[in-house]
Chains A and B, each alone.
Chain A
Amino acid sequence: MKIGLPGWVIKIVKMHRMLYRYHSVFGHSYVPNQKVRIPNAEGAYIIKTNGQSFRSDSDYVIKKSESKRFIFLGDSHTAGDGSVSNDDRFTNIIQNSSSDVECYNFACGGYGIDQQVLVYEYLAKKYEHDLVCFSFHVKDDIGRFNPKIDTFSRLSNQILSISKPYYSLEEKQFSNIPVPHSVIKSLEGKKSQEPNTVSSISKIKQFIRSIAYDDENPKYIRDYCSYLLKFYSRMKLESPRSHEYRAIRDLIHRLIILCEDKPLILSPLVDPRSLYSNPDYRKLYRHFTSNFSNVYYIDLVKDLKSRSRNYRWNLLNKFTFHYNLEGQKYVSNLILDKLKKERLL
Chain B
Amino acid sequence: MSKKHILGISCFYHDSAATLIIDNEIVAAAQEERFSRIKHDPSFPVLAINYCLEEASIADINEIDAIVFYDNPYKKLERIVQTHIESYPQTRNIWEEKMDAWITNNLTIPERALSDLGYNGQVFSVPHHISHASSAFYPSPFDEAAILTVDGVGERATASICYGSGNKIEIIKQMNFPHSLGLLYSAFTYFTGFRVNGGEYKLMGLAPYGKPVYVDKIKKNLLKINSDGSIVLNIDYFGFLDSQKMTNSNFASLFGGPAREPETELTQRELDLARSIQAVTEEIILKMAKYAKKLTNCNNLCMAGGVALNCVANGKILQEKIFDEIWIQPASGDAGCSLGSAFYFYYSHLEMKRQISKSEDSIQLGSYWGPEYSDKEIRSFLDTYSINYKKIKPSERAALVGNLLAQGKIVGNFMGRMEFGPRALGNRSILGDARSATTQSTINLKIKYRESFRPFAPSVLSTDISDYFELDTLSPFMLLVAQVNENRCIKTDTVSDIFERVNQKRSDIPAVTHVDNSARIQSVSRNHNSEYFDIINEFKKETGFGVIVNTSFNVRGEPIVCTPEEAYSCFINTEMDVLAIGNYLVTSKKEIFPNTIFRPHYNLRGTDVRKRMLKQQPKQFKRKDTLSKLYDSLSDIKHEKFSRDIEQTSNWSSICDSNIIKLSPKNPKDINSIFKEITLDWINLDTKNLELNYILEKMIDLSLKAPILRENNDGVVSDSLYVMY
A interface, CB within 8 angstroms of B: 1, 3-22, 28, 31-37, 39, 42-46, 48, 76, 85, 109-110, 149-160, 162, 183-184, 186, 189, 215-216, 219, 223, 226, 319-320
With both beta carbons as reference points, the residue of chain B lying nearest to A319 in the complex is identified as B719
Contact assessment for B716 and A8 in the assembled complex, using a CB-CB cutoff below 8 Å: yes
Contact assessment for A157 and B59 in the assembled complex, using a CB-CB cutoff below 8 Å: no
Q: Which of B53, B380, B564, B593 contacts A153 (CB 8 A)?
A: B593
In the complex, B60 has a CB within 8 A of chain A: yes
Contact assessment for B592 and A151 in the assembled complex, using a CB-CB cutoff below 8 Å: no
Chain A nearest CB from B34 CB (Å) reads 8
Q: Within the assembled complex, what's the spacing in Å between the Cα atoms of A46 and B55?
A: 10
Residue of A12, A85, A186 contacting most chain B CB atoms (<10 Å): A12
Binary per-residue interface labels of chain B (697-725) against chain A in the complex, 1 for a CB within 8 Å, 0 otherwise: 00000000000001001011111111111
- With A6-B115, A109-B722, A154-B600 already in contact, 18 other A-B pairs whose C-beta atoms are closer than 8 Å: A3-B118, A10-B719, A11-B717, A12-B713, A16-B562, A17-B54, A17-B377, A18-B381, A20-B722, A20-B725, A21-B384, A37-B59, A43-B59, A44-B53, A76-B722, A151-B723, A152-B722, A154-B723
Q: Which residues of A contact B612 (CB under 8 A)?
A: 8
Chain A nearest CB from B615 CB (Å) reads 12
Contact assessment for A151 and B721 in the assembled complex, using a CB-CB cutoff below 8 Å: yes
Q: Which residues of A contact B197 (CB under 8 A)?
A: none
With both beta carbons as reference points, the residue of chain B lying nearest to A29 in the complex is identified as B380
- Chain B residues 27 to 53 lying within 8 A of chain A, measured CB to CB, are 34-36, 46-47, 50-51, 53
Contact assessment for A46 and B59 in the assembled complex, using a CB-CB cutoff below 8 Å: yes
With both beta carbons as reference points, the residue of chain A lying nearest to B713 in the complex is identified as A12
Q: Which residues of A contact B111 (CB under 8 A)?
A: 1
In the complex, B351 has a CB within 8 A of chain A: no
- Chain B residues 539 to 586 lying within 8 A of chain A, measured CB to CB, are 562-565, 569
Q: Within the assembled complex, what's the spacing in Å between the Cα atoms of A158 and B612?
A: 22
Contact assessment for A14 and B36 in the assembled complex, using a CB-CB cutoff below 8 Å: yes
Contact assessment for A13 and B114 in the assembled complex, using a CB-CB cutoff below 8 Å: no
In the complex, B376 has a CB within 8 A of chain A: yes
Q: Which residues of A contact B569 (CB under 8 A)?
A: 155
In the complex, B61 has a CB within 8 A of chain A: yes
Chain A nearest CB from B579 CB (Å) reads 15
**24 pairs, A vs B, C-beta closer than 8 Å:** A1-B111, A1-B115, A3-B114, A9-B710, A12-B713, A12-B716, A13-B46, A13-B47, A14-B36, A14-B47, A16-B51, A18-B725, A19-B724, A21-B381, A22-B383, A31-B377, A43-B59, A85-B59, A153-B724, A156-B593, A215-B606, A216-B607, A219-B605, A219-B608
Q: Within the assembled complex, what's the spacing in Å between the Cα atoms of A184 and B387?
A: 13
Contact assessment for B602 and A28 in the assembled complex, using a CB-CB cutoff below 8 Å: no
Binary per-residue interface labels of chain B (291-334) against chain A in the complex, 1 for a CB within 8 Å, 0 otherwise: 00000000000000000000000000000000000000000000
Known: A1-B665, A19-B723, A43-B118. A11 touches B601 (CB 8 A): no
Q: Which residues of B contact A20 (CB under 8 A)?
A: 722, 724-725
With both beta carbons as reference points, the residue of chain A lying nearest to B592 in the complex is identified as A155
Q: Which residues of A contact B717 (CB under 8 A)?
A: 11-15, 152, 154
- Chain B residues 588 to 604 lying within 8 A of chain A, measured CB to CB, are 592-597, 600-604
Contact assessment for A157 and B53 in the assembled complex, using a CB-CB cutoff below 8 Å: no
B interface, CB within 8 angstroms of A: 34-36, 46-47, 50-51, 53-54, 57-62, 111, 114-118, 120, 371, 374, 376-377, 380-381, 383-386, 562-565, 569, 592-597, 600-609, 612, 665, 710, 713, 715-725
Q: Within the assembled complex, what's the spacing in Å between the Cα atoms of A215 and B605?
A: 5
Q: Which of B36, B374, B376, B597 contacts A157 (CB 8 A)?
A: B597
Q: Within the assembled complex, what's the spacing in Å between the Cα atoms of A300 and B34?
A: 45
Q: Which of A33, A45, A320 contacts B719 (CB 8 A)?
A: A320
Q: Which of B563, B596, B715 contacts A12 (CB 8 A)?
A: B715
Smallest CB-CB A-B distances: 8 pairs: A21-B380, A37-B54, A20-B724, A22-B384, A11-B716, A151-B724, A156-B593, A31-B380
Q: Within the assembled complex, what's the spacing in Å between the Cα atoms of A85 and B54?
A: 12
Chain B nearest CB from A32 CB (Å) reads 5
Q: Within the assembled complex, what's the spacing in Å between the Cα atoms of A160 and B606?
A: 17
Contact assessment for B61 and A43 in the assembled complex, using a CB-CB cutoff below 8 Å: yes
Chain B nearest CB from A195 CB (Å) reads 20
Contact assessment for A11 and B381 in the assembled complex, using a CB-CB cutoff below 8 Å: no
Contact assessment for A215 and B607 in the assembled complex, using a CB-CB cutoff below 8 Å: yes
Known: A44-B61, A46-B54. A154 touches B725 (CB 8 A): yes
Q: Which residues of B contact A109 (CB under 8 A)?
A: 722
Q: Which of A6, A184, A219 contacts B725 (CB 8 A)?
A: A184
Q: Which residues of B contact A152 (CB under 8 A)?
A: 604, 717-718, 721-724
Q: Which residues of A contact B36 (CB under 8 A)?
A: 14
Q: Within the assembled complex, what's the spacing in Å between the Cα atoms of A78 and B612?
A: 34
Contact assessment for A157 and B600 in the assembled complex, using a CB-CB cutoff below 8 Å: yes
Known: A28-B724, A110-B722. A16 touches B371 (CB 8 A): yes
Q: Which residues of B contact A156 (CB under 8 A)?
A: 592-597, 600
Q: Within the assembled complex, what's the spacing in Å between the Cα atoms of A201 and B722?
A: 21
Chain B nearest CB from A213 CB (Å) reads 9
Q: Which residues of B contact A32 (CB under 8 A)?
A: 376, 380
Q: Which residues of A contact B605 (CB under 8 A)?
A: 11, 215, 219
Contact assessment for B563 and A16 in the assembled complex, using a CB-CB cutoff below 8 Å: yes
Known: A37-B54, A152-B723. A16 touches B35 (CB 8 A): yes
Q: Which residues of A contact B117 (CB under 8 A)?
A: 5, 39
Chain A nearest CB from B594 CB (Å) reads 6
Contact assessment for A184 and B593 in the assembled complex, using a CB-CB cutoff below 8 Å: yes
Contact assessment for A154 and B602 in the assembled complex, using a CB-CB cutoff below 8 Å: yes
Q: Which of A33, A37, A320 contacts B53 (CB 8 A)?
A: A37
Q: Within the assembled complex, what's the spacing in Å between the Cα atoms of A20 and B58?
A: 21
Q: Which residues of B contact A186 (CB under 8 A)?
A: 593-595
Q: Which residues of A contact B606 (CB under 8 A)?
A: 215
Contact assessment for A215 and B54 in the assembled complex, using a CB-CB cutoff below 8 Å: no
Q: Which residues of B contact A10 (CB under 8 A)?
A: 719
Contact assessment for B385 and A184 in the assembled complex, using a CB-CB cutoff below 8 Å: yes
Q: Within the assembled complex, what's the spacing in Å between the Cα atoms of A36 and B607?
A: 27
Chain B nearest CB from A230 CB (Å) reads 11
Q: Within the assembled complex, what's the spacing in Å between the Cα atoms of A262 and B384?
A: 35
Q: Which residues of B contact A12 (CB under 8 A)?
A: 602, 609, 710, 713, 715-717
Q: Which residues of A contact B120 (CB under 8 A)?
A: 3
Contact assessment for A36 and B54 in the assembled complex, using a CB-CB cutoff below 8 Å: yes
Q: Which residues of B contact A19 (CB under 8 A)?
A: 723-724
Residue of B608, B719, B722 contacting most chain A CB atoms (<10 Å): B722
Q: Within the assembled complex, what's the spacing in Å between the Cα atoms of A48 and B57?
A: 9
Q: Which residues of A contact B721 (CB under 8 A)?
A: 150-152, 159
Known: A4-B118, A33-B374, A39-B50. A155 touches B565 (CB 8 A): yes
With both beta carbons as reference points, the residue of chain A lying nearest to B714 in the complex is identified as A12
With both beta carbons as reference points, the residue of chain B lying nearest to A46 in the complex is identified as B59
Q: Within the assembled complex, what's the spacing in Å between the Cα atoms of A319 and B612?
A: 17
